[in-house]
Structure 1
Amino acid sequence: MGKLTGKVAFITGASKGIGEGIAKVYAKYGAKVILAARSNRIEEIAENLRANGYEAIAVRMDVSNKGDIERAVECGIKAFGKIDILVNNAGVCKLGKFLEMSEEDRDFHIDVNIKGVWNTTKAILPYLIKNNYGKIVITSSVTGDMVADPGETAYAMTKAALVGFTKSLAVELAQYKINVNAICPGYVLTPMAEGIAKQSDEKSPDKVLKGIADAVPLKRLAEPEEIGELAAFLGSDESNYITGTQIVIDGGSTLPETISVGI
């Protein structure tokens, strides 16, 4: 019996990176998982999970499309009869200097990182309230609320907004025994991190990733499954007295006062 046995989890952005890592860990702990993403790859991930004896379905969904979300939630309810846990993980990051960033790129971040979380939560919340129980886990970031690098204005703004959303929603939903918490990862070895590295240095992205890892006190990037372990804790009854919290999981990357002073 795993800590999530009997629970049904709806996970967005589950086709790669952190979302895929969370899906695998949730399944390992006994949850029935609904994998939601735009990519066809979620079909492959769901099939692999089923081949290993887990219960999983894939639903194609663009979190920036409200109709897509509603249809995906209906599919999940039809398959498993309920949803206990929502993991709002889908997110995007496109680097760009503030004065050079187009309104389209700004709105791309807002539509996915903020509206996607808003609309997915709104679609699933009635099921949690009906059961007088639920867990909402939101993937924010250390970027925005705590730290930032040049070119991350849109990403940082939207990820910081999710912390405010988490805290306010947690207060509002406490009466229904619904916990709302945010995970704030630092650098994780994902396709997004690799993409950002390529945007920074198209010719030597591996050098960028190594430089990032060297600046982290634990000297490495996190694996997606490590974020999944924290998400599983927050999705389980072990976290029943934790709500409205942002939990940092960054290998200590936000600890150094500077990277140039020391003994």
Structure 2
Amino acid sequence: MSDRLKGKRAFVTAGAVGIGRACAIAFAKEGATVIATDLDEKTVATLTKEGVAETFKLDARDTAAVDALAKRVGKVDILLNAAGFVHNGTVLECSEDDWDFSFDLNVKSMHRTIKAFLPAMLEGGGGSIVNVSSAAGVFKAAPNRYVYSATKAAVAALTRAVAVDFITKGVRCNAICPGTIETPSMLGRAAALGAGGRDMFVSRQPMGRLGTAEEIAALAVYLASDESAFTTGVAHIIDGGWTL
């Protein structure tokens, strides 16, 4: 199947690397006109070589910047929220600043984009919002992921709240809850553990491997497309059996 998103416009946050990048590319390959954003302006700009229509520098923590870009871009049919940060530590290692930063980037960034793009979606007859959450915090506790898990649980709740409020207005809102996915940020966390860090992450995976960003993007395409027209408010787990 191809052109599953033909005629649709998609807006993606954190599109420079990892899951956000894979989603932007997958959306473009399925026929969508994709606007990808990231704080890393140089790297996100390389997406134009992958079929992405436009790229912009955007700090998802800047409400004024989000609002301004939403007005510039206009109506979109798909909003993919991928911005996020993984804090390492228990409650004892979580400072006030750690807590505030994590919730600002992982949760409030989605509040900002949804509030900015939703009015045009409603005026245009609907759309699909896809938020990247996590299996950690929503389905299972993970060691040393105290505030990260709290934020991802909040994302799942935010997703359900948006879904129920606009279920009769043509707007769907779903969350993707990945397990351990091999991305640059994940590999950076593994490297910080020293030799064998990546192997440690792999060892806890029932399938004996890490997930790929492209596998997450495949689910995102489904949720963005009309194929999932009867699906809203759901936290979709994709973790290779980690939570079994």
Question: Could you tell me the TM-score, scaled by structure 2's length?
Answer: 0.95
- The alpha carbon displacement at 1:55 in A equals 4.6
**Structure 1 residues not aligned, in runs of 5+:** 256-263
Determine if contact 2:191/2:198 at 8 Å carries over to the other structure.
no
* 1:84 and 2:86 matched: no
- The alpha carbon displacement at 1:73 in A equals 1.6
- The alpha carbon displacement at 1:72 in A equals 2.1
Alignment counterpart, residue 107 of structure 1, candidates 82, 92, 100: 100
- Aligned counterpart, 1:71: 68
Local SS of the residue matching 1:90: coil
Q: Partner amino acid for 1:108?
A: F
Tell me the distance in 1 between the aligned counterparts of 2:234 and 2:121: 19
Alignment counterpart, residue 59 of structure 2, candidates 47, 59, 62: 62
- Aligned counterpart, 2:138: 145
* 1:222 and 2:215 matched: no
Q: Percent identity?
A: 36
Q: Partner amino acid for 1:43?
A: A
- Aligned counterpart, 2:13: 12
Local SS of the residue matching 1:143: helix
Local SS of the residue matching 2:129: strand
- Deviation track 1:24-57 (CA, whole Å, cap 9, x = no partner) reads 1111100110101100211112x212xxxx3510
- The alpha carbon displacement at 1:97 in A equals 2.9
* 1:240 and 2:237 matched: no
Tell me the distance in 1 between the aligned counterparts of 2:175 and 2:53: 24
Tell me the distance in 1 between the aligned counterparts of 2:172 and 2:117: 14
Q: Partner amino acid for 2:8?
A: K
Determine if contact 1:36/1:72 at 8 Å carries over to the other structure.
no
- Aligned counterpart, 2:22: 21
Determine if contact 1:59/1:75 at 8 Å carries over to the other structure.
no
Local SS of the residue matching 1:174: coil
Structure 1 residue ranges (4+ consecutive) displaced by more than 4 angstroms after TM superposition: none
Determine if contact 2:102/2:151 at 8 Å carries over to the other structure.
yes
* 1:131 and 2:124 matched: yes
Determine if contact 1:62/1:69 at 8 Å carries over to the other structure.
yes
Tell me the distance in 1 between the aligned counterparts of 2:93 and 2:209: 32
Tell me the distance in 2 between the aligned counterparts of 1:217 and 1:99: 30
- Aligned counterpart, 1:158: 151
Q: Partner amino acid for 1:32?
A: T
**Structure 2 residues not aligned, in runs of 5+:** none
- The alpha carbon displacement at 1:76 in A equals 2.1
Question: Could you tell me the TM-score, scaled by structure 1's length?
Answer: 0.89
Q: Partner amino acid for 1:180?
A: C
Q: Report the RMSD for the aligned CA atoms in angstroms.
A: 1.3
Q: Partner amino acid for 2:39?
A: R
Tell me the distance in 1 between the aligned counterparts of 2:203 and 2:185: 19
Determine if contact 2:130/2:175 at 8 Å carries over to the other structure.
yes
Determine if contact 2:190/2:201 at 8 Å carries over to the other structure.
no
